[in-house]
Structure 1
Amino acid sequence: MLKFYTDITQLTPENRSRVFPLLFDWFYLENPKVKEYFIFVDTIEAADVCILPVDLGYYLHSKRKHEMNLFIASAKKQDKKVWVYSAGDFGTSFSDEVITFRLGGFHSKMNANTFVMPSFINDPYHTILSKEWQPINKTIKPSVGFVGNADGSFVKWVKELLIYFKQTLNRFLKKDFTDHQVFFPSSSIRFRLLEKIKASEMILADFVYRNKYRAGATSESQKVKTTLEFYENIERNLYTFCLRGSGNFSVRFYETLMMGRIPILIDTDVRLPFHKEINWNAHCIICTKNNFIQKIIDFHNSHSIDELKNIQLQNRTLALNTLNRQNYFISISKIYQNKHEL
């Protein structure tokens, strides 16, 4: 059992949506499984680790950086490791002296003390799809699915450029403390790469292009309809195309794993969760913008029917048993206890 200390005075109803994710389960939901592996102690001296209670951005934006620095300094004085949560699409790189948890970023620029969290996905088979999960059979040609924002128009590219300029300006004006980004018009690039798949005679493409997130759905019935279409597309295709969005990570990647299918991940210098512990090449096709067509074909042809079914099962098991919020931090605690590196 891992003993942790945090400032519980910050765990207020107002901070519910921005607390360190582990604390959400421990204090707000009082999840019994999490409490089997983590125990709260009320002094830094008694703790194995100290957890900064609220998202890093909260302290920076609300001019409470001194509180954060005091918390870290107090832990450092007792020679305790500090866990910090950097929320949002972009995240903020922080001191090498703390352990940072974030959703994405650039692998080559992140230090060894930065841990990427998965996007925590609810099981669609419990919430959306009224059926039991089953693997699907190998087809002669690889079937690749995609439903989402992909728009090759010049107007869309300009819109993405204007958003990028606004974000860059806010960083320059110190209104935004997230890491600097290079311009990446994800919708435009996604459309261009998907069109290359459609043009290949060796691949079966099953794509639904949308020019807005969730097709611009506003009513509850529209959201249910578009969500169902999204997951049914993943379900009926062995592979799903996954490219980063605004931040350098793909939520669709984790949704595909949860659905027990095989992601095609375009590597944009990503760092995946447990990148030292999990052999991700056994779970997905990791490729570049230059070689993804051939990678898809080669992967499909080099695996038997049974091997592809087994990968599907392993992916769903990984998503259910390791990549949900509770089990992710339980796995982190085991790494800490086994290696004492966190």
Structure 2
Amino acid sequence: MNIYIPPIDFSTLNKKSLFVLTRPFLNPDGWGNSAAVKQQFEVSDVFAYVDRIEKATVFFIPNPINSYSKDELNAINSICMQNSIKAYGYISGDLGADFGYFDHIVFFRMGGFKSQLPSSNKSLPVSLSDHFERIYKKTAIDVRERQNRAVVGFCGHATLSSSKSVKENIKFVKENLKRFFQNPFRKDYEPLFASALERAKLLKSFEASHLVETNFIYRNNYRAGATSEEERAKTTLEYYDNIKTSDYVLCVRGAGNFSVRLYETLMMGRIPIFVNTDCLLPFGDKIQWKNHVVWVEWKNRKNIANLVAEFHSKLSDYDFKTMQLENRKLWKEQLSVASILNMIMIKDGI
């Protein structure tokens, strides 16, 4: 796969803002094919940067789609059409605004609502380092033994505070007003969702059930309000220890309609309780997500403890252990940068 990435101003570059699929080709002096950089991302030489679009089989848009005008996106779409290739880019941020449809551009994003967006919008897995290996200094996960009752874990921002829920909803109201004045007939408005409150409600429903055991750490702020490196290290260890000592982990959307915790739970080889709020999930045509999670539709959330207990009761000891191993394997082998590149190559028949 020959990848064309247009030149950008590297003097003011913030690497974290780049489309993650371009990073294996970011050398100290610009775009290139450094073997060392590719190795960091476990990307093979099958994927190569080329400096002329005429040589390319695919076009990567380096900066967030949000930073391009419609005219600029139309120009990219046109040049891709002329060369019979597709462009791939990403939409940054939590919110699910629709950036339109272009025949030759695919948008990757984490936020957004599946029922509202055109088919050219695809889910981008959250890019994570292997924190399991970094923290616990080993590659093989500790597989938990199956107990009669499921142990449900959660460590994070969850509170019944009404003032915090009001603040969260005000942000959505402001965003929707901005979109209304841009175009009152648009359909991509953000539903009000106080994530900390909704998480707390779900946690309380687990605690009220005798069918599961709970392993919860409530935080009043994101990352417990940690500011120093020492505090961040402490809360990070508490967070991953909580996942490690649980069978299942509650994964529900935050400010954006996606869950970072879903990918962290898979990375740790545990079983996500995925609460579906009309989410986009990566590679739904390739990955059988319901084989890796306890799938709970938002409308069924009040019955969540019963659903988890029922799921757990149907698993044999062998199935329970196998699911942990398969979830770790899924994260390692299908949700990495190299895996996304492979998926694009297969999808487009390159």
Establish whether TM, by shorter chain, passes 0.5. yes
Which residue is equivalent to 1:184?
193
Please say which of residues 192-201 and 321-330 is displaced more in the overlay: 321-330
Aligned residue runs from structure 1 range 227-242, under 5 A? 227-242=236-251
Q: Tell me which residue corresponds to 2:82.
A: 77
In 2, distance between residues paired with 1:178 and 1:234?
37
Of stretches 151-160 and 141-150 in structure 1, the one that deviates more from structure 2 is 151-160
Other-structure match for 1:126 = 133
CA distance in 2, matches of 1:86, 1:249: 13
The alignment status of 1:108 with 2:115, answered yes or no, reads yes
Count of aligned positions: 331
Q: How far apart are the structure 1 equivalents of 2:45 and 2:251?
A: 35
Give the match's secondary structure for 1:128: helix
| Per-residue CA distance 1:136-194 (angstroms, 9 max, x = gap) | 011110100000011112111122122223333444566xx995311111111111111
Q: Report deviation, 1:10.
A: 4.8
Residue 153 of structure 1 corresponds to which residue in structure 2?
161
CA distance in 2 between counterparts of 1:256 and 1:334 reads: 27
Q: Within 5 Å, which residues of 2 pair with 1:1-342?
A: 2-10=1-9, 13-28=12-27, 30-32=37-39, 33-60=42-69, 65-93=70-98, 94-97=100-103, 98-130=105-137, 133-172=141-180, 180-288=189-297, 289-337=301-349
Once the two structures are TM-superposed, the CA of residue 305 in structure 1 deviates from its matched residue by 0.9
Contact 2:155-2:216 within 8 A present in 1 as well? yes
Any conservation in 2 of the 1:264–1:286 contact (CA below 8 Å)? yes
Q: Is 1:91–1:178's contact at 8 Å kept on the other side of the alignment? A: no
Would you say the 8 A contact 1:137–1:309 is kept in 2? Answer: yes
Pairwise CA distance, 1:91: 4.6
How far did residue 121 of structure 1 move? Answer: 1.7
* CA distance in 1 between partners of 2:8 and 2:210 (Å): 60
Instruction: Find the aligned partners of 1:92 and 1:157 in 2 and give their Cα distance.
Output: 22
SS in 2 for 1:139: coil
Aligned 8 A contact 2:66 2:91 in 1: yes
- Give CA deviations for 1:305-332 in whole Å, capped at 9, x if unaligned: 1111000000001111111223222332
CA RMSD in angstroms, aligned pairs only = 2.2
- Return the letter of the residue paired with 2:50: V
Query: Which range is displaced more, 19-28 or 125-134?
Result: 125-134
1:44: how far off? 2.5
Provide closer, same or farther for how the CA distance between residues 280 and 223 of structure 1 changes in structure 2, counting only shifts above 3 A.
same
Q: CA deviation at 1:130?
A: 4.4
What is the SS of the residue equivalent to 1:31?
helix
Identical amino acids, percent of aligned pairs: 35
With normalisation by structure 1, the TM-score equals 0.90
Which amino acid is the alignment partner of residue 95 of structure 1? Y
Shift of residue 249 of structure 1? 0.5
**Partners of 1:51 and 1:124 in 2: how far apart?**
28
Counterparts of 1:141 and 1:302, CA distance in 2: 12
1:309 partner amino acid? K
Which segments of 5 or more consecutive residues in structure 1 lack a partner in the other structure?
none
Q: Which amino acid aligns with 1:209?
A: Y
Unmatched tracts of structure 2, length 5 or more: 28-33
CA distance in 1, matches of 2:47, 2:9: 19
For the 8 Å contact 2:74–2:102, the answer to whether it is kept is no
Q: CA separation of 1:92/1:46 partners in 2, compared to 1, >3 Å: closer, same or farther?
A: farther
Q: Distance in 2 between matches of 1:15 and 1:122?
A: 18
In the superposition, the TM-score normalised over structure 2's length comes to: 0.88
Give the Å deviation of 1:135: 0.7
Determine if contact 1:143/1:205 at 8 Å carries over to the other structure: yes
C-alpha displacement at 1:52, in angstroms?
Answer: 1.9
Give, as a single letter, the amino acid of the residue that structure 1 aligns with 2:262. F
| Shift in CA distance, 285/12, structure 1 to aligned 2, threshold 3 Å | farther
